[in-house]
Amino acid sequence: MFGGYDLNPRGSFKIIGEQIDGAFELEGTQFLLKARWQKERQGAAALDSFPKKVERKLEYTVGLFVSLAGFTDEGVAAFRGSRPPVILMDGEDLALFLQGFVDFRELLKHKVREAAQTGDPYLKIVDGTAPG
């Protein structure tokens, strides 16, 4: 998926004390990837460790946490307005991309822009606010 969009992907890798599910690059920004394919929505406890991994990297590094089931309100609230180093993507976002309704690069850029401007890391494209 990331290779098809010329995002210079890297597969899963380990650093001392850390497991990273993958990495990619978009317009000079380095992204670390965390992917959860579980039935439960991810809460604050599940989200807490990934931002720490991102914060230990260079300044222009952003995390992308993909949870197929989405995130709890509590989990998202823990990140809103706190200069989040991570943007969040759920299964609905992923499905719209896979079905061809939204371009993946544009989706990522829109999510990063929203988080940078409003502090909200969980822009929902099903709300009609993301590019088509």
Residue 66 domain boundaries = 3-127
- Measured CA to CA, the distance from residue 83 to residue 118 in angstroms comes to 9
Residue 81's pLDDT is 65
**Residue 119 placed within a domain:** yes
Give pLDDT tens digits for 78-132: 777 677 789 999 999 989 888 988 888 999 999 999 888 888 889 887 665 544 4
**Residue 39 placed within a domain:** yes
Number of alpha helices (DSSP H) and beta strands (DSSP E) in the chain = 4, 6
**Residue 38 placed within a domain:** yes
**Residue 132 placed within a domain:** no
pTM: 0.88
Percentage of the chain surpassing pLDDT 90?
A: 39
CATH number assigned to the domain comprising residue 91: 3.40.1350.10
